[in-house]
C-alpha cells in the first residue's frame, strides 16, 4: 500500500480500494446500516447521485494522471469493438487477439482521417488491457458468459445441505470474505489490465477460487467405487497422459533452444546455417507467427526473396506485427513487384500512423517507382510528425526527407 501510489497504476489503486471497501462492508455490516440510514426513496436517489458524481470525479482525476495512456486504452477498446462486431458469438479463437488486432487497427486508420491524438497513441498491440473485452473478442458472447459465470458462482449465496452445514468455515467467515475481497480486486484490475495472463497471479486466483468453492454450502459428494480393472485402466491412462505431456514439453524446450541458436547464427550473419535449422524446426513451429517472421527475415537477409515472401505470407495468417508487413514489402520491392510492396507498406503505415520508418520506406518506394507526387505527399506527413522519442535515426530520416522536398 505504501508503494502503490508511486506506481501511478490507476487500475491498481481502484482494485485496492474495491477490495478494502468489500472488507469494510462485511466487517461493519454496512449493508444493513446503509439500509436503515437511506430508508426513503428520496434519500436513496440523493445518495445514488452523490456516489455517481464522486465516481465520475474520481475517474476524471485518474484519467488526467496519464491522459495519453488512458486514451490509448480507449483506442484499443474501440478497435476491439470492430472485431467483436465481426465475430460476436464465438469470437476469433482463443489466444488470437494479438494475431488479429493490428490488422483491424490498420483498417481503422485507413478507413478515414482520424484524430491526431489517436494516431499518436497507436502502437503494436498484443493485449486488450481489459480481460472482459479480450475474452469476448477471442471467445465471443458465449465465452464471456461462461467467464462471468465463474464470478457469479463465487458471490452467489447458497443454502446448506446435510453434508456440510457444520463445516469449519462457511461463506461468511472472515477467511472467505478476505478471499472474496481479493477476487473483487482482481475483477476491477481486469478492467484496465490483463492480470490473469500473468502466471503467478493466475495461480493465486486458482488457489483462491478453490478455497472459496470449498466453503460453498451446497456441495454434494459423489461416492463411487471403481473395480480393480477400471482402476488399473484409469491409472495407466493417467501415467500415459503424463508421459506424453512431459515428452511434448521436452521436445518444445529443445525446439526453443535450437531457435535461440538460429538467432545467434543470424547475428553472426551465418544465414545458411540459420536457414538449415529453420527448415528443421518448420514442421514443429509453423504455427508460431514469431518463428515464421524470423524465418522469413533470415531468408530475406540471404537474398532468397521469393522463399521469404512465401514464409511471410504464411506468417500473415497468424501474426499482425507491423514489422512483418515492412519485411514483406521489402521483399516485394527487391523483386520489383511495386504494387504488392506499396500495399504492405501502407498496411504498416496505417497500423502505427506516427511511426516515421514505414512512411520513409514508402517514400523511397514512390521515388524509385517514379511517383513523385505521392512521395512528396508522404514526405510532408513525415515532417509534420512529432516523434514520441527523438533519436539519431528519426533525425537522419527527417534530414533525408528535407532533401527530397527541396
Question: Which tens digit of pLDDT belongs to each residue from 10-54?
Answer: 778 888 888 888 888 888 888 788 777 888 888 888 888 888 898
Higher model confidence: residue 271 or residue 163?
271
**Mind spelling out the 3-state secondary structure of 180-195?**
HHHHHHHHHHCCCCCH
Model confidence at 147: pLDDT above 90: yes
Confidence of residue 269 (pLDDT cuts 50, 70, 90): very high
Domains in the chain with CATH codes: 230-405 (1.25.40.10)
How sure is the predictor about 163, in pLDDT bands with cuts at 50, 70 and 90? very low
State residue 64's pLDDT score: 76
Average pLDDT over residues 327-338: 96
d(CA 308, CA 296): 4
φ, ψ for residue 74, nearest 5 deg: -60, -40
- Whether the predicted pLDDT of 205 surpasses 70: yes
Burial class (CB in 10 A: 0-12, 13-18, 19+), 105: buried
* For residues 355-365, average pLDDT: 95
DSSP state for residue 112 in the 8-state scheme: S
| 98-102, 106-110, 385-389: least confidently modelled range | 385-389
Q: pLDDT tens for residues 165-185?
A: 444 455 567 788 888 999 999
Cβ atoms of 326 and 348 closer than 8 Å:
yes
Residues in the chain: 406
Decide if 326 contacts 299 (C-beta within 8 A): no
Ranking 31-40, 221-230, 290-299 by mean pLDDT, the lowest is 221-230
* pLDDT on residue 155: 84
Give residue 66's pLDDT band: very low, low, confident or very high (50, 70, 90): confident
Query: Residues 307, 308, 314, 319: what is their CA dihedral angle, to the nearest 10 degrees?
Result: 170
Asked whether the predicted pLDDT for residue 154 surpasses 90, the reply is: no
Amino acid at each position: 500500500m505504501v508503494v502503490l501510489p508511486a506506481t501511478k497504476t490507476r487500475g491498481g489503486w481502484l482494485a485496492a480500494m474495491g477490495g478494502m471497501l468489500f472488507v469494510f462492508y462485511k466487517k461493519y455490516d454496512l449493508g444493513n446500516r446503509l439500509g436503515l440510514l437511506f430508508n426513503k426513496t428520496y434519500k436513496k436517489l440523493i445518495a445514488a447521485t452523490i456516489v455517481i458524481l464522486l465516481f465520475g470525479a474520481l475517474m476524471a482525476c485518474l484519467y488526467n494522471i496519464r491522459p495519453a495512456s488512458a486514451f490509448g486504452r480507449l483506442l484499443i477498446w474501440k478497435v476491439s469493438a470492430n472485431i467483436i462486431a465481426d465475430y460476436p458469438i464465438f469470437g476469433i479463437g482463443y489466444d488470437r487477439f494479438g494475431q488479429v488486432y493490428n490488422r483491424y487497427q490498420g483498417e481503422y486508420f485507413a478507413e478515414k482521417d482520424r484524430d491526431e491524438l489517436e494516431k499518436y497513441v497507436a502502437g503494436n498491440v498484443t493485449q486488450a488491457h481489459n480481460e472482459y473485452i479480450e475474452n469476448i473478442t477471442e471467445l465471443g458472447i458465449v465465452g464471456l458468459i461462461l467467464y462471468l459465470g465463474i464470478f457469479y458462482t463465487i458471490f452467489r449465496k447458497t443454502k446448506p445441505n446435510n453434508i456440510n452445514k457444520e463445516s469449519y468455515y462457511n461463506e461468511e467467515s472472515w477467511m472467505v470474505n478476505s478471499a472474496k475481497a481479493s477476487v473483487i480486486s482482481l475483477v476491477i484490475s481486469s478492467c484496465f489490465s490483463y492480470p490473469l495472463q500473468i502466471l503467478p497471479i493466475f495461480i493465486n486466483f486458482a488457489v483462491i477460487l478453490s478455497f472459496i468453492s470449498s466453503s460453498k454450502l451446497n456441495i454434494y459428494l459423489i461416492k463411487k467405487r471403481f473395480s480393480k480393472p477400471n482402476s488399473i485402466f484409469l491409472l495407466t491412462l493417467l501415467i500415459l497422459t503424463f508421459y506424453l505431456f512431459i515428452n511434448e514439453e521436452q521436445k518444445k524446450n529443445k525446439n526453443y533452444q535450437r531457435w535461440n541458436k538460429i538467432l545467434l547464427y543470424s547475428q553472426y550473419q551465418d544465414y545458411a546455417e540459420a536457414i538449415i535449422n529453420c527448415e528443421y524446426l518448420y514442421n514443429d513451429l509453423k504455427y508460431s507467427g514469431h518463428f515464421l517472421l524470423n524465418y522469413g527475415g533470415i531468408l530475406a537477409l540471404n537474398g532468397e526473396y521469393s522463399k521469404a515472401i512465401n514464409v511471410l505470407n504464411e506468417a500473415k495468417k497468424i501474426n499482425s506485427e507491423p514489422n512483418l508487413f515492412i519485411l514483406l514489402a521489402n521483399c516485394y520491392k527487391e523483386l520489383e513487384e511495386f504494387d504488392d510492396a506499396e500495399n504492405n507498406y501502407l498496411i504498416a503505415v496505417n497500423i502505427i500512423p506516427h511511426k516515421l520508418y514505414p512512411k520513409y520506406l514508402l517514400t523511397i518506394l514512390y521515388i524509385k517507382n517514379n511517383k513523385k507526387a505521392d512521395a512528396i505527399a508522404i514526405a510532408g506527413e513525415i515532417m509534420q510528425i512529432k516523434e514520441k522519442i527523438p533519436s539519431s535515426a528519426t533525425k537522419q530520416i527527417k534530414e533525408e526527407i528535407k532533401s527530397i522536398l527541396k
